[in-house]
Amino acid sequence: MFISSAIAQTAPAATTGGDMTSSLMSMLPLLLMFAVLYFVMIRPQMKRQKEQKAMIDALAKGDEIVTVGGVLGKIAQIGDTQIGLEVANGVVIQIQRVSVAQVLPKGAIKS
C-alpha cells in the first residue's frame, strides 16, 4: 500500500575489450603531455647540465671566465673544488668551480 514495489534493473552487458580501449584512450592525453614535457623541458635541461659540467672540467690556468655573480677574471690557480681568480693585478679571490658561468675567449678582458 504505502510501500512501492522495487523494480529490478538489469545490469549492463559485460564487454570484454571495450573497457580496455576506453581506459587507454582516457590515458592517452596524459601520456602525450608527459612526452611533450620531456622533450620540451627535461631533455634540454639535462643537455645544458652536461655542457656545464664539461666546461667546468675543462677549465685551465689562464682561462678568462665570468662567474655566476658577474665577476670577470683570469684563472690564476686551480684546484679540485676551488679556483683562484685574478680580478686585478695582484688581487686573487677564491671561488668555487661550480660558480663559473662562462669561459670567455682569450683577450676578452682588458686589464
pTM of the model: 0.65
4 half-sphere exposure, CB direction, 13 A CA radius = 3
* Sign of the CA dihedral running 93, 96, 99, 102: positive
- Rounded Cα gap, residues 79 and 93, in angstroms: 13
pLDDT tens figures, 16-44: 556 778 888 889 999 999 999 999 999 99
DSSP state of 39: I
pLDDT tens figures, 54-64: 999 999 999 99
Please answer whether residues 62 and 105 qualify as being in contact, where contact means their C-beta atoms are separated by less than 8 angstroms. no
